[in-house]
Amino acid sequence: MVLVREVAAKLGNLHGDTATSFWKATARELLDLAIGSGGDPASASNEVRRFFAAVQKEMHVLTGEVA
């Protein structure tokens, strides 16, 4: 959960291509770690998608869009 908050806070301060580049690099790093730890690529990809969903939810909380 700490990583979700950190990534959400960082993304909240970035815009445009910078935010996209940061997210892509973060997603690639997480995917590589999951696969490197023995996860299969499909499961690892699903984990990264769930992580991204959690980050988006946290960003909404940080901006006050979710109570």
- Domain assignment present for residue 19? The answer is no
Whether 45 is covered by a domain: the verdict is: yes
Q: What is the pLDDT of residue 63?
A: 83
Q: Is the dihedral of CA 31, 12, 9, 14 positive or negative?
A: positive
Write down the pLDDT at residue 66: 61
In whole angstroms, give the CA distance from residue 38 to residue 10. Answer: 29
pLDDT at 67 over 60: no
Number of domains in the chain: 1
In a domain, 35, yes or no: yes
CB 55, CB 8: distance < 8 Å: yes
Task: Convert the pLDDT of each residue in 13-65 to its tens digit.
Answer: 999 999 999 999 999 999 999 999 998 999 999 999 999 999 999 999 988 87
Alpha-carbon distance 18 to 21, whole Å? Answer: 5
Structural domain range at position 62: 1-10+26-67
